[in-house]
Amino acid sequence: ICLRPKFFRLSQHILSTSGRPTILGMITNNTHLDGITQRRMRQELLRQFPVMRIVNLHGNLREGEVCPDGSPDENVFDILQGVGISVAVSPLSGADAPADVRYCDLWGLRQKKYEELLSGAKPRWDSVVPSAPRFLLVPSVDELEEEYELGLPVPGIFAAGVTGVQTKRDELVFAATVAELRTRFQSFRDGSVGMNEIRELYGVRDIPEWKLSRAIVALKRDPDWVDSISRCLYRPFDVKSLFYSGDFLARDRREILRHMLRPNLALVITRQSNPSAPWSELFVADGLVEKRALASYSGEARAYPLFLADDSDQAGCSVVNVSEAAVQLFRSRLNWHVDGEADARRMFDYVYGVGHSPTFRSRFNALIKRDYLRIPITSSSDLAATLAHLGHQLIALHLLKSTKVAHPNTAFIGSRHPEVEKISWSRNTVWLDKAQTTGFQGVPEDVWNFHIGGYQVCEKWLKDRKGRTLSQDDIAHYQKIVVALSETIRLMAEIDRVIDAHGGWPGAFQATATA
């Protein structure tokens, strides 16, 4: 029993030197069965061990895994990560044996799993046919896989993208306003706040690759330090000021994110999402992007800028960040020349519109979660133009630049100096206090429950401000969020209506092709 899959490699190496048929049996965590980053591991295991028997014991408490019928599912150990049993057999040296992979699930309470494993009963095997590029060791039961695979993956649409900023010291480098951040770092420069006080105030500690003292020295030597303060998407609808300096950050991702320091847009997605929740990992940014901007789960936010900066042009970004494959496909399907600025923006809007189709999300929910989002490209100019128009409206809403957000559909009631104490929702009101006397009245349940990525937006924005007294600007901002989400729900339904009017799924998107 070894819960770390890396010991597969050690065992594989030892057995490969035996010169005879071998058997490898392990109990490990089950991420290697279908994980995105383990595809090459699976390919190599299949090469040496073409005969496999796999019992997936599930029990992933991190993901809140439950049985298919909704009943509780428990781990066989006192751990959070799901578990599996793998038995693999290698043939005689030099033999070219076909793959023979069989799989079964074991769900339920821990004691039930123990009893079934000890009973000696023959498992109910399902045959698995691992194939490139994923080499999955779980059955593919999704009959829509071929249809979904025809779409363009987001990394195949954009020429460049990158994971968001990783700070490892958010309290130090993020602030609500530019003024707050400027005052903070000025105090570091002039020494009015000492090293020990910085560590205590902001929970900063030295690590081998980063020392506070070195960062402060670099700050004092930089005459243009104020220019390092930039806007950054921290969470959905929560843009903060960030001291964007490599001296203070763990990973600034500057090679790509520098393009977001000028007027620009970036599509924000994750490669992994919570398997137990409907997929919703899609947003937009017009500045820097933080690594956890979309996911409280393990997924990291990745930003795909629409334009790249031409270093000779100081005014803005003018190089279109679209791959050659996407250029050719949009030109052949729709006669859109997406290597030009106007059509590139229309393409960006189209991608955003399709990605917000509720039917698209539910139809391909499991497939989207396997890897990067894929976008089907229609051949209907009318449908494409309408989806781009709706996507354009969604982007304006999500950047809070739509004129609609200036007209609140909620009323703030209660205290004039509201402190965020206990967040709850009832009677179409988001309450800020335990007594339910202060809050935002007029928030429908579907708006309250709306998720973007791993976050329930209406709750998350307030939760991050717990213990703080909301200003009038804070109240106005939250009311804009509610309008934006209300309109998002309406536009998402409209996107489905438009697609249905053009043949629905898959008819409206049958002329698609992979990158």
- pLDDT at site 3: 62
- pLDDT at site 480: 98
CA atoms of 416 and 26, how far apart (whole Å): 62
Mean pLDDT across 272-278? 80
Mean pLDDT across 338-362? 97
Largest CA-CA distance found in the chain, in angstroms, rounded: 80
Q: HSE (CB half, 13 Å, CA atoms) of 297?
A: 25
Total length of the chain: 515
What are the structure tokens assigned to 379, written together?
């051949």
Q: By the 8 A CB rule, do 172 and 181 touch?
A: no
pLDDT at 514 over 60: no
> What does 384-446 look like in DSSP terms, one character per residue?
HHHHHHHHHHHHHHHTT-SGGGGS-SSEEES-SS-B----EEETTEEE-STTS-SEEE---HH
Give the contacts of 477 (CB within 8 A, at least 6 positions apart).
237, 400
Mean pLDDT across 2-8? 73
Tell which wins on pLDDT, 295 or 233. 233
How do 317-320 and 307-309 pair as beta strands? antiparallel
pLDDT tens, position by position, 8-62: 888 888 888 887 889 999 999 998 998 878 889 999 999 889 999 999 999 998 7
pLDDT tens, position by position, 98-145: 889 999 999 999 999 999 999 988 899 999 989 888 898 998 756 788
Q: How many CB atoms lie within 10 A of CB 104?
A: 15
pLDDT at 1 over 70: no
Q: By the 8 A CB rule, do 462 and 430 touch?
A: yes
Mean pLDDT across 375-394? 97
In percent, the amount of the chain with pLDDT more than 70 equals 95
pLDDT at 228 over 60: yes
Q: What single letter denotes the amino acid at residue 264?
A: N
In three-state secondary structure terms, 209 is coil
pLDDT tens, position by position, 51-93: 999 999 999 987 778 898 889 999 999 999 899 999 999 876 5
Please give the mean pLDDT across all residues of the chain.
Answer: 92
pLDDT tens, position by position, 409-461: 999 999 999 999 999 999 999 999 999 999 999 999 999 999 999 999 999 99
pLDDT tens, position by position, 281-336: 999 999 999 999 998 666 799 999 999 987 665 656 679 999 999 999 999 999 99
Whole-model pTM? 0.83
Mean pLDDT across 369-382? 94
- pLDDT at site 20: 82
pLDDT range class, residue 5, cuts 50, 70, 90: low
